[in-house]
Each structure stands twice: as structure tokens, then as C-alpha cells.
Structure 1
Amino acid sequence: MRQAYSYVRLSSKKQILGYGEDRQCEAIEAAALANGWELSDKTFSDLGVSGWKGANIETGALSQFLRCVEDGYVAKGSVLIVENVDRLSRAGVNRAVSLLMQLLDSGISIYTATDNKLYEPDSPNPLMDLMAWALSAQRAFEESERKSQMILKAKAKAREAARSSGKIITRRCPSWLCVNQDKTAFELLPERVETVQKIFDLYVNGYGTPRIGRLLTEEGRQPLTGRAWYPRSISRILQYRAVLGEYQPTLNGKPEGEPVKNYYPAIITEDQFNEAQAVLKEGGAGKGRRGGEMRNYFAGLLRCSCGEGMHIVSSQVKGKRYYQLRCLQYRISCYGGTWNFNKLSSHVLFALRRLPILEVMGSKDNGNLKELNDRVRDLTHLLEDTKNQLDNTINAIATLGLNDMLQTKFRELTAAATDIEGQLSSAKTALETSQGQLAIQKQDSEMLTGRFLELIDNTKDLDGRIKLNQVLRRYLSKIEMEADRDAEYRFVRIFRKDGELLVTATCDHKLNSALFESVDGTETMELNNS
């Protein structure tokens, strides 16, 4: 008895939920029974796979059948039963005919159940078979092309409606929103909105994405997507402009045209969003390994003069907790001794407090906001003018027909519009980043220029320590500590982000007093740190 195999393909969710699969299977079983073929238990099904782009041939179940034929698991003389030609391919005549010839050359016959047509390797009328196959393939391709154009036009119309009137075009929306029953407005989901706002607040205040994820998990907040809070998903939220109320239409998975502003309800301010982008551009917040209490708010900055990092250790004497700093090579290759953390902190924070704020921040270039604003405006006008010229060229082609001059003009304007869109996107990003950096610097200057006691108060709770660490790491590259157990003095050197030495503190061995030397002169301070 001749062996037969079934192939079923459904391209849409509607077909899968409907009667399509049962219909195809029943037709295949009836064809095998009518022709006396033994239908294999091994079936090949592509559910939710399009045949228009050839995905079923390249990666789907049909590609598995072709490999089975090639490897000899499907014997020559076998029959592949399908409902009709378009189940195998809608990718056009050339692709469909190539598939037919590939199977026939491998000794496999194809039976289409709709028209009871058997395509055999040794057919007496191969030309007629080829023509019938090609005509069926062409009809399938034209139908798919027509449906595709209808869908594209409908989507384009919906996008224009969203831009012109703010009309809701789909129920798909950010996970902190939902669409009301009559599809006239978005409704906020308060708990999820609060979660997103908390993510932004924590991030701009120094929490890294891993720590944010752990905190949200501890608070019992459900992830917006997926099973858990992952750093990557939190980063995506921080960069998702829908929090500002923007909707970015897409075409084939890529942004199409300008975003639609005020389409969604905004849940984050422009300043908050720009601050987060500035932190992201600088490498992110909260990098480096930290303990649960984040006791060392100089984490990532402290360096021993031998070149190794410093770490904090604690001990308890008569019920009192003491914190010390040691080189990572302490008593291995480095014998610089330990440092009292609280006393060192007093000296470092005092030194920063007395320095001019602009000296600490350095000459960080945030870009000229006026120039960036002017560039965004000029590029926007240039893009509008180029698109108008492109529309006029298309109208001329429709009226006069396509000639070499109009074709060249069309290509030039299309390339120019694409290039200007890229420049405009870059300029907008630079403007937003610059605005965010200025907002951050304003907050940092307020923090750094506060009174000395206020800086110390910032270290008394976890949030304050994390924020202070973020600010210090934004403007400092390292704090170098030099100590010799046999020497009378210890030295602390604070370096700005660009590597320039800001201030040197010469301390007595017990860190009770220090002499500060900076570009502004020399100043002596006595601290009661004993």
C-alpha cells in the first residue's frame, strides 16, 4: 500500500480557533481513503505560520518534511496530501514551482484534495500539470497581496486618525493602561502606574536595575510582563516613551513616522524621563556589588595607594559596632593599615563641601541647549519641505508617467528624507539627554552645596547612602588613600571624573585632624573624631 503524509497550514489565529484545521484534516483523510493510501501517523502542521513570505518552507513543519525527504526517512513513491496548492506556498509562482520540482525530483507525489489532482514525478502530461500548479500559485499569491495591501491601507488610515484626532486605534496598549468598553478612552491601572513611577524615582535616586527588581519583588509588586522582575525589562520601561503619553506607530516592526504625542495619559514628567536617560547614558545607576545596607557610600571610588580597591569590614566591641576600611591585599602584599570609616568620611565630605561646586563638577559639556533646540527646529522644517517635494514628485509621476528625470528625483528625495529623519532623531536624543543632565546637575549641586551636617544626615538611611554614592561617582573618579603604619601622617587624594586632582588631605595617623590643600589655597580644620 502506498504511503501518504498529511500537511496542514493555518496562517491566522482566527483560522486556528475556527474550523480550518478540522476541515483540512477531514479532506486529507477522505483523499487517502478514496485512493487506497496508508496515511502516516506522522503529520506535519504549521499553525499560525504564513505561506506568503515562505516561512513554512524555511523554518516551519514543511521544512521538516523536506529534510525527511532529503535524508531518506520519507521513501520515494510516497504522497504528500494537502488541501490545495496555497497550503504549501503563497510566495508567488517561482517559489511554488521550485517547491513542486524539488518534491517531484525527490520521487514524492503531491495530491491536492480540493480538485482531486495528483502531481506525479512520471506524469504523462507534465506541462499541463506545471501550468495548473503555476496558475493556482499565482491566484494564491495575488489574493495574499490584495489582503496585505488592504491591511496596510487600513493600518495607515488608523495611524493618521491617531495623529489627527487621537482616536484609539487598537486595544493593545502599555501594561499600566487598559481601554474602556466602548473604546473611547484609556483607563489607568493605579497599582501598575505606581510601580512604574516608583521605578523611575528609584533609578534617578541611585538604585540600579537589579536592586530595583529585588525591592519590587520584596514589596510583592507583580511584574508588568513575564514571571519576574529582570534588569533588562526594567531598563526597557525606563526607555519606553509611552510613559510620557507618546504612541509610536510602526510598520513591519519598525517606527513609522513621527510619534503621536498625548495619545496615552502621561504618568511620568519630561524632567523625570530626561533625568533617567541621562543616567542611562552615563552608564547606569547603582553599578558594582553592594551589601544589603550599602554601608560604604564611597563604593567604587576608594583605592589604596598600592592600586588595589578598599573594602569595608565591621567589628563589635562591648556592644558597639565599628566600621573599618582595608585594602583588598591587606596583610598579603599591602601593609598600609586600616582606616576608621566614619573619620575618613568626615574628612572627604568636608573637603567636597568647601570646594566650589563647579570645580567638583568640572567642565562637563551638556551641549548648548539653544543650538540643539535650533537644530531640532531646522531639521523639522527641512523634513517637512523634503516630504512636500516628494509628494509633488509622486503627483507628477501619476500625471505625466514615470520618466528618468522623475525617477531620479524620487530616489534622491526619498534618500534625503531618510537621512534627515535620522539626523532629527539624533538631535532630539541629544537635546533630551542635555536637558536631563542639567536637571541632574541642579539636584546634585543642591545636595553638594548643602550644609556639612546635612551631607552627614544623608548617610543615615539606605536611600540617602545610595543617592550620595551615585552623586559622588558621577563627578569623582577615585579617592586614593595612602598610609604607612610607621609614618606620622596619612594622605587622602580626591580626583575629579576627568582624572584631575581636586584636593589632598594630610591627616594625622588617628584621623583626628587634617590639612587640606586645593587650588583655592590651604586650610586647616580640627575635627573632634576621637
Structure 2
Amino acid sequence: MTPRAYSYLRMSTDDQLKGDSRRRQLEASRAYAEQNGLELADNAQLEDIGISAFKGANARDGALGQFLAAVKAGSVERGSYLLVESLDRLSREEILPAHTLFLSIVQAGINLVTLADNRVYRAKTTNLVDMITSLVIMERAHEESKTKSLRVGAAWKNKRKMAAEGRPMTARCPAWLRLSTDRQSYELIPERVEIVRQIFSDSAAGLGMYSITTRLNRAGVAAFEGKNGWHRSYLAKTLENRAVLGQFQPHVKVDGKRVPEGDPIEGYYPAIISDELFYQAQHLRSQRKRGGAGRKGPGYTNLFTGLARCAYCHSTVAYENKGSGTRGGTYLVCGNAQRGRGCSATRWRYQDFEASFLAFVQELDLESILNATEDAETRKRLEGEISALRGELSSVSDLMEKTYAVLSAGGSPEFVAAKLNELTARQAVLRERLASRESEQLAFNGRDLRFYTSREEIKELVKRLQMPPSDELYKLRAQIASRLKILVETLLIAPQGALPAMQRSIEELQKIIGEEHDDVVAHMQRLAAHPDQSRRYFAVGFRDAAVRAVFPAYDDPLRFDQQIVAGQGSSDHGERSIEVVEPPDRRTRIA
């Protein structure tokens, strides 16, 4: 039976892959197999690319480690051959672990061939000269790697010292910068800086990756890399890149992996955006990931993606386009009902539902998005600060996770402990500031909310948001959708209106909003007890624990038959109360 040969290739850098190293090792393996009548296992070729053998990462976690496990399990037969260019491809560790690896291979019955000198190491025939030769080669390989590591480490240590002093380490820098002609600083590329700033502004305004990418490509904006336009992956890397804040994070390679070394160097690059805008963009990205990621249509078609639930079965509410014609149009419909999975919920025409929501959910403060008023500026400021603080908190949590990963990858325990202490302290400060801003926002929002002065004012605001698609409209609707994701915890839609259905939806509402809103549930029960009061409605549960239920009129989405509003501190004595809002001139308050 023809013995099998396994070719093992290892290159510590990707640059070697681009050069001649891989081709040379492969051709040498094929030639040896042909000359010695071996079956070269092409489908089992072993490669460790970009993995160093200096600390044994290839034998522990790489392809070599998988081969050794297969040998131990008996999947690789005794008498097989392992072909390597030289012993330093197997290991560059210190002599004892390197020679232990060498012995584990030959003692398992695997013939180890070094192609550079055509030497074969066999378990039964390897002699003293072979053993001494192998020891000398492995010791020399370790010393070479150690010397190189010290030399490179010293060079980069010097470069990092230069960086801390504000001098560039290399010409390599973010795509919106370039090295100055005197090589003493980085300069802005104005047109690219403006593009990056717009990307962050769009993200903070609620636009997703797909929308921003599409806009850049449609506008013919030249991509920073490649000739195939903008890609979402590149935008994601840009939005995560703290170089826009002026930071540079030095890295080192540990077991072939790049890991952070030391603290980021502040002010290494020119900062091009504010910390607040950076963290607002991070927070809004995380909110989009929570629900509603993906394409939104040319006019941001559905504002409630990822938020709306069926009031009868709590399934996701789907957006349905039934085309044009008398029976066409767009609707919101229970996902279970749409798929025939038990729920019998009817459809709610999307444009009508959106109009009612925008008109009557005062907490959204639609005017602050569409009009510049003093209250709107205050609300925007608070929301911006809170969004930025939440984004920075999320960033700190990510940094803590990455710091733990540094320890797992062999980083210094002292550095990790110091870094975690620093991040923990920063986290505490941010949480305190966030709690303060949220309290300020709650007090601001807790004031008596006014109703629009006239139905004409309502109609005008809604009309602006339901115009034909345009870039400006898309941005406005994206901002509204983003604010909804920040404000709204629960949105239940109950389109049926019939008495049994209303009773079922109230039971579902009670499960979701909890005992703290029993007053709302009790009032809904009283409504359901009277057939003439049963009607379709939607209920919004906000993150500050307030609740608003709206019963729009069937014949006009910009009129309502009744609203129920509950929240903390809404009574005259600062206690919780429920307010039943009738149409204008018919308002009552129930303590």
C-alpha cells in the first residue's frame, strides 16, 4: 500500500504568502513525493498562514495542532510522512518544548522529512547524529526568532515613544489623512473629512448602513478604497474607528494575533468629529441592531419596523403591500394571521395608522423634528447627550471585553488589571451622568403635554411626512424611527375592535405592561364592558414607564374617540394617575 504524505506549510506573515515562500514549499513537497513513490494528500494539505511558531501557536491552535490530534486519534496511519521545508517550520520555541514536539511526531510512527536537506527522521532508525542535528537546528531557529523579536520590539517601542510625543510612526494612516511633506504630522484631506463627517451625522440621525451606502454610490462619491463603490462593511469599520477622535491604538502580535498594547494614544491623529457625535452614532447603530435593520424603501416606508406587536397574540406585526387598485394599498397585519398560524387579526391601513400615531402620541414630540422651537432644542439636546452617554457606555463595555481577551491571548496580567480598573471607574462616572440626564429628561417630558391647537395643524405635520419619497423626507422619517426606538418599549396594535377581541387584547396587554399599569388595564376593562365602547386602538408603553392608549375614529385617522394616558407623577400631588382624554372640549381627569 502506497504511504501517504502530508505537506505542512507555515508562514508567519501574509507578505510571505504574496511572495515565493508558499510556491517553493509546495513544489518541494510534490517533487519529494514523486521521487519517493508517496501519495501526496492534496486534499489534506496543512497550512498555517500568518501564525508564528515562536510560542507554539501553530502546534496548539493551528493546522499542525489538528494534524497531531488526528495522529493521536489514529486518523493518520503509522508510516505516513510529514513533509516540511525545515524543522524551524514546525517550531521556533525554546529547545525543550521544540524537541518534545519533534519526538511526539516520530514516536507516533510518522516519518518526518525536512525538504531543505532531504533528511528523514524515523522512530526506529533516527540515530545520535540525527538527534544532535535536530537539536542544533531547533536551538538556532529559536535564537534567530528571539533576536528578531527583540530587534523588532525595540524598533516599535521607539516608534511608539515617538507617537506619544506627537510624531508619526509611519506613513500609514486613515484614508481621510495623509502624511505631511516634512513627515512630522498628518494632514486632513478636506473632501474626505467632509464625507466621513456626513457618514457619522447620517448614522446619528438614524440612517442605516444600506441607506448611507446607497446614497454615496448614487451621488457618485468616490470610495476611499477600490473601484467598486462604497460597501456597508467599510462604513461599519469607519463608524467604529476611533481615529476620527484622534486616537491611535498600538498593537503587537501575540501567537500570530494582533492584540492592543498599552493605552490608546490621544491626539496622535487630528480629530475630525466630536466625542458626542461619535457616541451618538454608536448608540443609534446599536438601536437599529435591536430591531429594524435592513432596507427601508425609498421613503423609509415603515416607521414601526421591529417595534409593533399584535395585541392579540404578541406576534410581530408585518408591513404588507397589496399593490395598486381598489383592493390594494399598504397595511399592518399580524405576522401569525398573515401566515395562517391561528390569529385572526384584521389589517390596519398603514397610512391611517401612521397618521393617528404621529398625530396623537405627543411623547414623540414631532415638532422638535420638523420645527425648531425652544422646547424642541432642549429636547434634542437632552436626547443627544443621553444617546452619546449610552453609546460611550456601550463602547466601554466592548473595551472591557477586549481587555479580557488580551489576558486570554497571553497579555500582561498587570496591564489587564490596570486597564479594567480604569474602565470600571469610567463606567461608574458615565452611569452617574446618564442617570442625571435621564432624570432631567423625565422631568422635562413630565410637564403637561399640550395638544395641537387645531386639526389643521395636525394635518399639516402629518402631510409633510407622507409626501412622495425624497432625500430630505427619508432623513426626517429616519430620525422619527430612531427616536421611536429610543422612547418606545412596547407598541401593541389592536385593529379588530369587536368586544371579544378587545377583551383578549387587554389580557395580552396586562401580561406585557405588568402590575404597575393595572389602572390602565382596569379602565380598558370598563370600556370593553360596553359594546358601544369597543373599538380598534393601539397602546404604547414607553421606557420611562408611561403608557398611552389611543382609540382613533374609524372615519378619520386625524380624530380620536378617546385616549388613556398614565405615567408617574402626573397627578396634582405628584402621585401616579390615569387621564382619560376625550376629543377637544370633552376632557376629564380620573385620579
**TM range, normalised to the smaller chain?**
0.5 to 0.7
Output one character per residue of 1:1-32: Cα deviation in whole Å (capped at 9) or x when no partner: x99999886645777788888999999999x9
Are the aligned partners of 1:286 and 1:466 in contact in 2 as well (CA < 8 Å)?
A: no
Output one character per residue of 1:306-339: Cα deviation in whole Å (capped at 9) or x when no partner: 3453645567579x99666555538977777665
Counterpart residue type for residue 480 of structure 1: I
Are the aligned partners of 1:213 and 1:234 in contact in 2 as well (CA < 8 Å)?
A: yes
Q: CA deviation at 1:208?
A: 2.7
The correspondence of residues 41-440 of structure 1 with structure 2, limited to 5 A, is 50-54=52-56, 57=59, 59=62, 82=85, 85-102=87-104, 104-105=106-107, 106=109, 108=111, 126=128, 129-163=130-164, 165-180=165-180, 183-189=183-189, 192-220=192-220, 233-252=234-253, 253-282=258-287, 284=289, 287=292, 290-303=296-309, 305-307=311-313, 309=317, 311=319, 313=321, 329=337, 339=348, 341-353=350-362, 417-424=418-425, 426-427=427-428
Counterpart residue type for residue 183 of structure 1: R
Are the aligned partners of 2:29 and 2:83 in contact in 1 as well (CA < 8 Å)?
A: no
Q: Distance in 1 between matches of 2:435 and 2:119?
A: 68
Name the residue aligned to 2:540. 495
Change (3 A) 1:314 1:412: closer
Counterpart residue type for residue 476 of structure 2: G
User: CA RMSD of the aligned region, Å?
Assistant: 5.7
Name the residue aligned to 2:487. 475
Are the aligned partners of 1:313 and 1:324 in contact in 2 as well (CA < 8 Å)?
A: yes
- SS of the counterpart of 1:495? strand
Counterpart residue type for residue 351 of structure 1: F
Change (3 A) 1:134 1:422: farther
Q: CA deviation at 1:54?
A: 3.6
Name the residue aligned to 1:406. none
Q: CA deviation at 1:188?
A: 4.1
Gap runs ≥5 in structure 2: 366-374, 397-411, 468-472, 500-530, 566-577, 586-591
- SS of the counterpart of 2:493? strand
Counterpart residue type for residue 96 of structure 2: N
Are the aligned partners of 1:513 and 1:525 in contact in 2 as well (CA < 8 Å)?
A: no
Change (3 A) 1:259 1:439: farther
Are the aligned partners of 2:111 and 2:120 in contact in 1 as well (CA < 8 Å)?
A: no
- SS of the counterpart of 1:494? strand
Q: Distance in 1 between matches of 2:265 and 2:439?
A: 26
Change (3 A) 1:91 1:293: same
Counterpart residue type for residue 457 of structure 1: R
- SS of the counterpart of 1:144? helix
Q: CA deviation at 1:273?
A: 0.8
Output one character per residue of 1:275-311: Cα deviation in whole Å (capped at 9) or x when no partner: 1122244454871574443334344445554345364
Name the residue aligned to 1:457. 464
Counterpart residue type for residue 471 of structure 1: R
- SS of the counterpart of 1:524? coil
Give 1 or 2 for the bigger CA radius of gyration: 1
Change (3 A) 1:416 1:507: closer
Normalising by structure 1, we get a TM-score of 0.66
Counterpart residue type for residue 584 of structure 2: M
- SS of the counterpart of 2:264? coil
Q: Distance in 1 between matches of 2:233 and 2:477?
A: 24
Q: CA deviation at 1:162?
A: 1.0
Q: CA deviation at 1:426?
A: 3.6
Normalising by structure 2, we get a TM-score of 0.60
Output one character per residue of 1:374-417: Cα deviation in whole Å (capped at 9) or x when no partner: xx9xxxxxxxxxxxxxxxxxxxxxxxxxxxxxxxxxx9977752
Q: Do residues 514 (structure 1) and 565 (structure 2) align?
A: no
Counterpart residue type for residue 306 of structure 1: Y
Counterpart residue type for residue 131 of structure 2: L
Change (3 A) 1:414 1:175: closer
Change (3 A) 1:233 1:502: same
Q: Distance in 1 between matches of 2:10 and 2:339?
A: 71
Q: CA deviation at 1:117?
A: 7.7
Q: CA deviation at 1:244?
A: 1.4
Q: CA deviation at 1:216?
A: 4.1
Q: Distance in 1 between matches of 2:348 and 2:5?
A: 82
Q: CA deviation at 1:274?
A: 1.7
The correspondence of residues 1-20 of structure 1 with structure 2, limited to 5 A, is 11=12
Structure 1 vs Structure 2: percent identity of aligned residues?
Answer: 24
**How many residues of Structure 1 are paired with residues of Structure 2 in the alignment?**
472
Change (3 A) 1:81 1:313: closer
